[in-house]
Amino acid sequence: MKEKNYNLELIRMISFVLVIAIHVSNYFCRAYGEIPNSEYAFSLVVDTAARVSVPSFFMISGALLLGREETLKKHCRRILRFLSVLAVWSVVYYLWNTCYMKTEVKLQEIIFVPAEAHLWYLYAMIPIYLVLPFLQVMCRNLSKNLETALLIISTGAVLLNFRTTFTGEELYYDLPLIGDKVYTYYLFFGYYISKYRKKIPIRQKTAVLICIFSMAVSFGATMGATFAKGYHYEKELTYGSPFVILASVMFFIIMIRVNDGNFQPSDRRKRIIDLFCNCSFGIYLIHILFLDNYKKYMEPTDFTAWIAIPGLTFVIAAVSFVCVLIMRQTTIGKKIT
């Protein structure tokens, strides 16, 4: 049995907390004009820094799955698991939104529009899993030169796609393998970084500086556009934005090379990391229930963002973890988390 890569597990553990931070800070960012500018700036700092989390999840999947040789039966089980998870949580959030939050959800459109916005991740991963066997065969047979060439071409396509979002145009044809989204690109980038992490000619300190600089550019561009337009402008924080990509890739490089790529915590810390990481998917799925409950009764102006964002992130992460831990004591709970 292949030994678990605790560098990847460390990235996973940090990322699921940062995902919650994105959703919490976004609630305050979108209240621009209602909350003080200092609170907006703080919310935007958190939102910008936490953006590395979602790309990291895709890169973790790429690092773990691309290049592997797996049976078709295993692929089918993986797809069926994701489909069942999507079906269950779509029902949960449909009932939650219609019966409790009193927001409209059109069940007949569920195949096109998630019952809750954060379920988009499942909508993105299922198509990737459908073609994963073919991507694995491709990666196993590519030379380093071809892998690098694919990464360069894909980067060009992703940047061009992002550029067209400003003009409302669409490319006549999308690049095969990458399409018009950025998620498969992150998948391949994670595979590439994991495979060549010791050969990438970027020092850790340089990667840290590039990561911070990229975040600062994203923050500055968003802040400037927000002030100019009079509302929270999020385009520079999307996952196809060049500086979000750069920050995410640098973060992944930094973390995957901790202890020279051989992060080995003590047995006690391993158990803690394993416990949290086993629950991370479930935490992602369930945490919106608790955040929605806060939104139902509290406006962004009711409590200062300086305390609400870190406080809510910690409390929601903790409560979600406990709930998922309890759910995973049952067979059904394990399957849907």
What is residue 45's predicted lDDT score, i.e. its pLDDT? 98
Q: Which two tokens stand for residue 7?
A: 């560098």
Contact by Cβ (8 Å): 139, 187: no
Cβ contacts of 240 within 8 Å, gap of 6 or more: 158, 161, 162, 165, 181, 182
- The arithmetic mean of pLDDT across residues 205-224, rounded, is 97
Residues in the chain: 337
The model carries a pTM of 0.95
pLDDT band at 181; cut points 50, 70, 90: confident
pLDDT in tens, 301-324: 999 999 999 999 999 999 999 999
* Across 73-89, average pLDDT: 94
Quick one: average pLDDT of 13-30? 96
Burial of residue 106 (number of CB atoms within 10 Å: 0-12, 13-18, 19+): exposed
Chain centroid, CA 44 distance in Å = 17
- Dump pLDDT digits (tens) for 121-149: 999 999 999 999 999 999 999 999 999 99
Given a contact cutoff of 8 angstroms between Cβ atoms, the answer to whether 193 and 63 are in contact is yes
Rounded CA-CA distance 266/289 in Å is 34
With cut-offs at 50, 70 and 90, classify the pLDDT of residue 2. Answer: low
The answer to whether residues 272 and 298 touch, using CB atoms and an 8 Å cutoff, is no
State residue 35 phi and psi, 5-degree precision: -105, 160
Q: Where are the chain's structural domains?
A: 6-336
Confidence category of residue 106, pLDDT binned at 50, 70, 90: confident
Mean pLDDT of the region 118-123: 95
